[in-house]
Structure 1
């Protein structure tokens, strides 16, 4: 049976959480100095890049939930200087995104979401906003992945989540996250 669009967004939310979990776990092997060290990228360090992912996730997830946080989300561009604190905060926002996607219906995908931009209110269909959010996360995780390759820590594999043959490799991590294949894929 083909997956519904709702199931596809759910799977993207789980994949997002898994990729963040893997990337931040790898960064946890770095010392604080190496995590904050200047590197080539859109943002100047792993610390800045991964905090950017977090604050933008906070901005959009709040809007998807009907909140009005707006640009206050990034008032502090690096709210979590240490990896452990960032990992906990990112895990919490990722769980909110999963909960949001778990509650989706086909009708809700067509709903308009209002996004507080302080000087204006952006209106966007929920499905389009979710697509933008997932693309943003993938884009910046790729940059962080490249930065990590400049360290002594091997960057983790981030692109095998959907491959059925990789299920045994995911099992332990899914268990750590409190999931099973059925949690992600249904049935």
Structure 2
């Protein structure tokens, strides 16, 4: 795999984890009632939307890792009842995705991933599966971000991974996540 593709996919995995961390940290300031209050979106609550991200991450990351979890991944569509539980579970799932992307070697993007979908097994190239997964994350995080704007908590900035002027905040968040910029961008 060209170094540029490997770096881009790794960067996307780290950015994904950082955005999840920022969004779930903001949601931690909600009351339990606000977290489950009905809202306009594809899923009816922040809890349901953020759990959906987690469930689908588990589904695809299991496939990347060679597992056969398949549709059992969404047997419980809301496995985490609180923001704290969800934040911990999402962080663990994000670490799995980062580890998979960190371990990519030459030809990994072309590797065929077997996605168990119940009645059949879909075969998909790793790079295409990763791009789908990142797009899914962005799509539903955007919905959760919009839902959050209807609460007492200000939605965090999610779309500027390395925004100018945010170096101290970024350094503190990266420290909390166990990263540095060098961790993210090393080749």
Query: Above 0.5 in TM-score?
Result: yes
Q: Distance in 2 between matches of 1:66 and 1:165?
A: 41
Say whether 1:37 aligns with 2:37.
Answer: yes
8 Å CA contact 1:160, 1:166 repeated in 2? no
Q: How many residues align?
A: 186
Structure 1 runs, 4 residues or longer, greater than 4 Å off: none
Q: Which residue of 2 aligns with 1:168?
A: 168
Q: Which residue of 2 aligns with 1:63?
A: 63
TM-score (norm 2): 0.96
How is 1:76-115 mapped onto 2 (pairs within 5 angstroms)? Answer: 76-115=76-115
Give the SS at the match of 2:44: coil
Q: Check whether the contact 1:19–1:158 (CA below 8 A) recurs between aligned residues.
A: yes
Gaps of 5+ in 2: none
CA distance in 2, matches of 1:165, 1:60: 35
Give the whole-Å Cα distance in 2 for the aligned partners of 1:162 and 1:172: 13
**Corresponding residue for residue 72 of structure 2:** 72
Deviations 1:111-165 (A, max 9, x none): 1000000101000000000000000000000000000000000000001104465
Structure-1 separation of matches of 2:135 and 2:83: 23
Q: What CA RMSD, in Å, does the superposition of the two structures yield over aligned residues?
A: 1.4
TM (norm. structure 1) is 0.96
- 1:23-34 correspondence to structure 2 within 5 Å: 23-34=23-34
